[in-house]
C-alpha cells in the first residue's frame, strides 16, 4: 500500500517542525527547549498543523503523545462541558493526526514522500524527490535526522529502507551531513557511490559527468555502482525499480578522510588535500555567497553562470588569465560586472540573446 502525505510549502516552517519532531522523538528536550517549542507553537496556528504533518510522514505520531507533558495547562482534558464547540488541544491532535488527507504534492514545488509497507519488512520504505531551480539553494531534513543542502539547479531522489539510506543525485551539487546510525548512507551519482555512516561531505556532478567528492568531517568510502536501471529523478521516481547499492568495504585506497577530495570517473583519480580556507570558498554557496580568491576570470565566470540564466562571452581571450578576488551573492550579476569595470577595466554589453559580452576598456 502506498501512502503520500502532503507537506507545507513553507520550507522554513517545515524545517523547524522537522527538527522539533526529531527532538521530541529522541526525548531530548530540555526545559528551555520546551519553552521554545511552546513559543513556536503559539506563533502561528500553522505550526501545529505542520508538526502533525511531519510526524505523520515519518511515522512519529507516537512522539506527539508526549506533548501532553509539555503543555499540561492545554493538554489536561476539561471535564466541564465545552463552550462553542471548543475541545482540548490533545483531542485536536488525535483527530487531526487521524484525518490527514493522503494526496500527492507537486514534486517541483514540494518534496514528494511515499511510504510503502510490506508484511516482510520491519520498517517501511520511504522515498522522496527534491529539485532546485537555477540560483536556488534548499535545505532538506531527512527522516533519519540527516541534512542535505542542495545547490543551484540540482535534482535529488532518496530511498530509505530498513537496511539502507540512499540518495540519488541526478544533477547538481549537494552537501550531506549524515546522522550516525548502523545503516550506511549512500550517495549514487552517475555510476559512482559515496558511502558513510556519520560524517559530512559534498558531492558534485561536473559538466563532464565526473563526480567530485570533498570530505569536511569524518570519512567516506567510494566505489562503483553496479549497472542497473537509469537513476531516478524528480519526474520518473519509482523506488521499486532501482537496485540498492552494496555496502562498501573500507580499504586504504577507497577511503577519503576530512580535508581530502577526489574526482571520480577520471582516468587517474588521485586524492588531494584541501585546506580549511579552500573548503570555506568551495562551500560558500550554501550561504548564498560566492567567494573568489585570486580565481582566474574564466573559472569565475563559469561559476557565476551556474546561478543565473545569462552566459558570459569573453571577446578578448587574454582577459581569461585575470586573477579575480571578491565576495558576491549568488546570481548578483550587476555587482560582479561593476567590479570588473572598476578594478580590471573590463567593460560589458548585452547582446539581446541573454549573453554578456566582455572586453577591455
pLDDT of residue 38: 84
Report residue 269 as a C-alpha cell. Answer: 583519480
Determine the average pLDDT of the residues in 344-360: 91
Inform me whether the pLDDT recorded for 190 exceeds 80: yes
Inform me whether the pLDDT recorded for 114 exceeds 60: no
Q: Which residue has the higher pLDDT, 308 or 52?
A: 308
> Who contacts 308 (Cβ-Cβ below 8 Å, separation ≥6)?
134, 135, 331, 333
pLDDT of residue 177: 96
Residue 66 has a CB neighbour count (10 Å cut-off) of: 12
> Who contacts 36 (Cβ-Cβ below 8 Å, separation ≥6)?
none
pLDDT of residue 23: 76
Determine the average pLDDT of the residues in 23-46: 80
pLDDT 10s digits, 303-317: 999 999 999 999 998
Average pLDDT, the chain: 78
61 pLDDT band (50/70/90 cuts)?
Answer: low
**With contact defined as beta carbons under 8 Å apart, do 187 and 194 qualify?**
yes
Q: State how far Cα 107 lies from the chain centre.
A: 15
Inform me whether the pLDDT recorded for 319 exceeds 80: yes
118: β partners: none
Q: Which residue has the higher pLDDT, 109 or 208?
A: 208
Inform me whether the pLDDT recorded for 107 exceeds 50: no
78 pLDDT band (50/70/90 cuts)?
Answer: very low
Least confident of 109-123, 147-161, 284-298: 109-123
d(CA 196, CA 255): 10
> Who contacts 246 (Cβ-Cβ below 8 Å, separation ≥6)?
223, 226
pLDDT 10s digits, 211-249: 999 999 999 999 988 765 455 555 555 545 567 888 888
d(CA 146, CA 144): 6
Inform me whether the pLDDT recorded for 99 exceeds 50: no
pLDDT of residue 260: 96
Report residue 251 as a C-alpha cell. Answer: 580499504
Report which secondary-structure segment, H or E, holds 347: strand 346-350
pTM over 0.75? The answer is no
pLDDT of residue 102: 27
pLDDT of residue 172: 97
pLDDT of residue 118: 42
pLDDT of residue 4: 36
Report residue 62 as a C-alpha cell. Answer: 507516537
pLDDT of residue 231: 57
**Backbone phi and psi for residue 293, each to the nearest 5 degrees, phi listed first:** -125, 100
To the nearest 5 percent, what fractions of the chain are helix, strand and coil?
Answer: 30, 30, 40
Report residue 332 as a C-alpha cell. Answer: 548578483
166 pLDDT band (50/70/90 cuts)?
Answer: very high
Inform me whether the pLDDT recorded for 149 exceeds 80: yes
Q: State how far Cα 351 lies from the chain centre.
A: 36
Amino acid at each position: 500500500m502506498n501512502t503520500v502525505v502532503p507537506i507545507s510549502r513553507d520550507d522554513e516552517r517545515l524545517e523547524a517542525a522537522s527538527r522539533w519532531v526529531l527532538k521530541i522523538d529522541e526525548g531530548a528536550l530540555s526545559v528551555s527547549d520546551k519553552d521554545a517549542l511552546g513559543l513556536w507553537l503559539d506563533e502561528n496556528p500553522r505550526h501545529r498543523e505542520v508538526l502533525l504533518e511531519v510526524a505523520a510522514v515519518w511515522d512519529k505520531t507516537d512522539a506527539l503523545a508526549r506533548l501532553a507533558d509539555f503543555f499540561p495547562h492545554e493538554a489536561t482534558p476539561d471535564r466541564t462541558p465545552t463552550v462553542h464547540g471548543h475541545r482540548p488541544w490533545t483531542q485536536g491532535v488525535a483527530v487531526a493526526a487521524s484525518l490527514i488527507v493522503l494526496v500527492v504534492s507537486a514534486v517541483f514545488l514540494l518534496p514528494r514522500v511515499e511510504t510503502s509497507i510490506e508484511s516482510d519488512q520491519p520498517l517501511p520504505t520511504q522515498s522522496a524527490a527534491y529539485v532546485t531551480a537555477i540560483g536556488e539553494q534548499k535545505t532538506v531534513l531527512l527522516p533519519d535526522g540527516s541534512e542535505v543542502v542542495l545547490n543551484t539547479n540540482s535534482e535529488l531522489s532518496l530511498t530509505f529502507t530498513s537496511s539502507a539510506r540512499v540518495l540519488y543525485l541526478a544533477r547538481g551539487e549537494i552537501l550531506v551531513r549524515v546522522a550516525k546510525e548502523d545503516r550506511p548512507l549512500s550517495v549514487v551519482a552517475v555510476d559512482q557511490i559515496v558511502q558513510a555512516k556519520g560524517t559530512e561531505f559534498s558531492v558534485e556532478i561536473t559538466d563532464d559527468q565526473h563526480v567530485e567528492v570533498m570530505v569536511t568531517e569524518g570519512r567516506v568510502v567510494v566505489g562503483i555502482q553496479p549497472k542497473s536501471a537509469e537513476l531516478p529523478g524528480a519526474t520518473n521516481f519509482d523506488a521499486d525499480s532501482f537496485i540498492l547499492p552494496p555496502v562498501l568495504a573500507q580499504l586504504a585506497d577507497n577511503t577519503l578522510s576530512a580535508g581530502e577530495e577526489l574526482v571520480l570517473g577520471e582516468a587517474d583519480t588521485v586524492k588531494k588535500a584541501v585546506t580549511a580556507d579552500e573548503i570555506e570558498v568551495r562551500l560558500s554557496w550554501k550561504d548564498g555567497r560566492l567567494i573568489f580568491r585570486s580565481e582566474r576570470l574564466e573559472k569565475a565566470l563559469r561559476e557565476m553562470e551556474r546561478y543565473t540564466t545569462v552566459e558570459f562571452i569573453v571577446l578578448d581571450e587574454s582577459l581569461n588569465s585575470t586573477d579575480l578576488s571578491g565576495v558576491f551573492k549568488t546570481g548578483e550579476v550587476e555587482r560582479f560586472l561593476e567590479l570588473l569595470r572598476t578594478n580590471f577595466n573590463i567593460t560589458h554589453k548585452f547582446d539581446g540573446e541573454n549573453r554578456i559580452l566582455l572586453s577591455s576598456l
